Amino acid sequence: MNREIRSVDDLLRVLDGLFAGGPAWDRFYEDRERPVPFFAAEPDENLDAWLRDGRLRGGRALELGCGPGRNARRLAEAGYEVDGVDVSPTAIAWARERAPGVRFHLADIFAVDLPHESYDLIYDSGCLHHLAPHRRISYRALLDRHLAPGGHFGLVCFAAGTGDPDSGTEVPDAQLYRDGSLHGGLAYTPDELRRLFDGYAEIELRPMREGTGRFGRSFLLAGLFRRPLSG
């Protein structure tokens, strides 16, 4: 059948197919000894800082694209009830070893069956910047559906304008569809993130800090936003 688009979800799935040659995450996580910086056991420096200074104070947490569980473990240690979601069976297996007290879900973040409707914190370290542009719509809808009023949203993503070869691409959205590639991940400016999360209060938005003893790379942006109590 050639005329398969009859809903927004149909359209999103067709657009997903344009990037079918994207990262193979299960193969990516197979060799734990590879010199990949975020394979380290340490949590993100920004997340650790927000927990230590009291800006994040516990409750229910949802981590999107949790990988091998280093941030989920830190959240659990801080007293959060944590649900972590990732599409890679290998990453989930590693995460369960690292953080046995956390509930991990092997699923697409847009199709996961979560045990709770709302969360006090939604955290994402490296998931958003691997999503195709049309999935920003799904992503914002996920936040609006699951982030509790007054809850916090924390994010780490590639920063535009750093000149660092390890950062993401600044290729325009339209060109990504022509190329059929996300070129390893998308870089964002602070203003682009502010527009994407318009209506959420910005608490902090800055480059990650290096040399803290936690995971941090200066070509990554760290942001903390709060959802209004109403509206």
Lowest mean pLDDT among 12-26, 162-176, 179-193: 12-26
Residue 40 pLDDT: 86
Residue 38 pLDDT: 83
Reply yes or no on whether the pLDDT at 221 is more than 70. yes
Mean pLDDT of 118-143: 98
The domain ranges of the chain are 8-226
Mean pLDDT of 29-35: 86
Reply yes or no on whether the pLDDT at 103 is more than 70. yes
Phi, psi of 54 (to 5 degrees): 90, 5
**Average per-residue pLDDT in the chain?**
95
CATH no. for 8-226? 3.40.50.150
The pLDDT-based confidence of 34 (bands split at 50, 70, 90) is confident
- For residues 59 and 32, the answer to whether their CB atoms sit within 8 Å is no
Residue 37 pLDDT: 82
Mean pLDDT of 29-57: 92
pLDDT digits (tens, 9 = 90+) for 179-189: 999 999 999 99
Reply yes or no on whether the pLDDT at 1 is more than 60. no
Mean pLDDT of 104-131: 97
Angle, alpha carbons 21-22-24 (nearest 5°)? 100
pLDDT digits (tens, 9 = 90+) for 195-217: 999 999 999 999 999 999 999 99
The pLDDT-based confidence of 22 (bands split at 50, 70, 90) is low
